[in-house]
Chains A and B, each alone.
Chain A
Amino acid sequence: MSIVLVGISHHQAPVELRERAALDRQRAAELAGALAGGRSEAVVLSTCNRTELYLADESAEAAEEKAEVALLALESKLGPALYRLRDEDAALHLFRVAAGLDSMIPGEGEILGQVRAAHESGATGPLLDRLFRQAVQAGRKARTQTAIGESPASVSSAAAALAEQVFGDLEGRSVLVVGAGKVGELAIRNLVSRGATIASVANRTGQRAEELTERFGGEALPLERIEEELVRADVVLSSTSAPGWILTREQVEHALHARKGRPLFLIDLAVPRDLDPAIHELEGCYLYDIDDLEAVVAETLAGRRREAARAETIVAEEADRFRAWQASLDVVPAITSLRARAEQIRDAELSRAKLNDAERRAAESVTAAVLNKLLHLPTIRMKQAAAAADGVIYADAVRHLFGLEDER
């Protein structure tokens, strides 16, 4: 049995092509079911960055052709962007994908769940089941043993992570949102997903502020009221299109007296900036603008790339383990036949011997032990040879030496 991978990804295919080949979970499961059949197995991995078909079949060529036809049926222009990999190369590729090493942002965490979901909805047999299980394990290992997925990879998640550096858990921390544009929305989502509460949304037009409060909670306010809201806010998130300062140092300084030493974290995503940079000089106030956040993200991405080198080693080790396991499949039938033949001879000889019950039990125990000890080393050696790619030669030699040819 060979493993075949045919697919497209963000490396060669632009989003216009990828979106036409993208499949939701149900359609991916249906396609996997259609591609599998008989002894062949199929898994479809479809994310926003890739659509990949993994097949296990007796004939690699036939499986590859089948997969290509299926992908071209989704979009006929995919041809030049398709890549094809087999056996250990396909396995290594999947392990890298699961570890986030093939993602646009190294170490991106969502892919591991997507690989798991593809496995669950695939039409798997022994080969692809093992491959995907080990891929998930490799992905998990890369994440736990390196820091590849630890730091945020976007400005909005960096802003939320920085707020956590000030407050720790954001559960129950109140956020004052200034400006209700699209720019701030991702940051709001990130803060809310970490437990923060949107206390109020201040905006020039009330309607957009109310739209946001309906979705994320809080109270809609006119911009004039933000100074009084500063007293109870822990985080200020500003992203208006105003030409001047929305909040000045003096306004914040005034509010600080009533805050009793509680720190204030301010995020300025607007260009031109909304918040007076001098606010950062005040004790207990931490102001980060878009450039500061981008510098943090650039650093964390560099860190992820450094960790990626360590993750590659982990993934390569897992791929080696899988290759050894797959190769051992070549010798398993020969080992099974050899053991069966030995047992057959043992049974025949024991039945011919004239023994009482006690003697028979003793003889059975002794002969079983002799047989196991005798076959142990050849079994191990054959598996080792299989891992070193000589498995088929050894298996043929064993079949020839012990006359097992008829049992193939």
Chain B
Amino acid sequence: MAELLFWPALLAYGEAAVAYLNDVRHPGLAGRLATWGVRVGWLVQTALLAVQAARADGFPWSTWGGSLNLFVWLVVGAYLIWGCQPRYRLLGLAVLPLAVVLFILARVGGGTGVGVRSHYSNLFLVLHVGLVLAAFAGFTLAAALSALYLWQERRLKRRESSILRLRAPALSRLDEVAARTIAIALPALTLGIAVGIARLRDRGGGFDALMAVTVVTWSIYSGYLALRHFAGWRGRRAAYLVLAGFVLVVVVRLGLPVTHFAT
């Protein structure tokens, strides 16, 4: 059943990615088809996750592939909050192809089949893995928003004549939404890290490089919010900082199979 749900979800995400590309050339119908593709895909993936959870009778996404599957669902879910607005369709061009690739990787990594229940407790997994992944999904979306900001800012600076033909969300709005996304994602990461550290202290265990990078990531995003609030950091500099934080998010995600899922 879980395997059967993977294909329609992938098909819907794939359709959305192609439709977003088409929407750039011919805005209108393609954009609406893309939005529906994302909605349908996300709902089918929700069903897939529900089936996985029911079969495993717990939290089945503690493997690398499984966590990637959950991560894709969280990223697309976060995107859906803004992505349904026509102005944010360009964002879909960055988010959906990434979602398709990661979803395929999740399948290759065995994360879309019937999961095996982890030997960790469900509560710990939900709080630690769930919250960290939710935060990473938020940072991914914020990075896409910042990338879109930099692209749009560059067009304005270059005074591109096509700027009103191919419209992106306004700079201020992109800047604001990215900051708001980080303001929501950061507490989730904080709590996720805190749960991890608490368990580490309780059960014993070493502090590895990946944990250190995660803490640095946390510092970057905290610094971003602090600089924004106290020093009025906005615009280009702020966008670069968000992207720098995202590089670390990618490093952590890539490093997970080596450290957390190796045993």
Contact = CB atoms under 8 A, between A and B. Distances in A.
A292 B237 CA distance: 26
A151 B235 contact: no
B87 to A, nearest CB: 9
A164 interface: yes
A283 B235 contact: yes
Nearest to A170: B170
B169 A168 contact: yes
Contact of A261 (B152, B161, B165, B234): B234
Interface string B171-205: 11100000000000000000000000000000000
A166 B172 contact: yes
Contact of A296 (B152, B163, B168, B236): B163
Interface string A267-298: 00000000000001001101010001001101
Given A283-B235, A284-B235, A296 B164 contact: yes
B25 to A, nearest CB: 11
Interface string A360-386: 000000000000000000000000000
A284 B234 contact: yes
Given A261-B238, A283-B237, 6 more contacts: A165-B167, A262-B234, A263-B172, A284-B234, A295-B161, A298-B161
Contacts of B172: 166-168, 263
Interface string B225-237: 0000000111111
A261 B233 contact: yes
Interface string A155-169: 000100110111111
A337 interface: no
Category for how many chain A residues contact B: 20 to 34
A299 B232 contact: no
Shortest Cβ-Cβ A-B pairs, 6 listed: A260-B232, A261-B234, A168-B170, A299-B161, A168-B173, A261-B232
Interface string A294-310: 01101110010000000
16 contacts: A162-B156, A165-B156, A165-B163, A165-B164, A165-B167, A167-B170, A168-B169, A261-B238, A263-B171, A283-B236, A284-B236, A286-B156, A296-B159, A300-B164, A300-B165, A303-B165
A261 B163 contact: no
A298 to B, nearest CB: 7
B157 interface: yes
A284 B239 CA distance: 12
Interface in B1-34: 27-29
A151 B167 CA distance: 10
Contacts of B168: 165
A139 interface: no
Contacts of A169: 170
A152 B236 CA distance: 27
A90 interface: no
- B27, B164, B165, B234 interface centre (most CB from chain A within 10 Å): B164
B159 A292 contact: yes
B159 A288 contact: yes
Interface string B137-157: 000000000000000100011
Contacts of A150: 27
Contact of A280 (B157, B164, B236): B157
B162 interface: yes
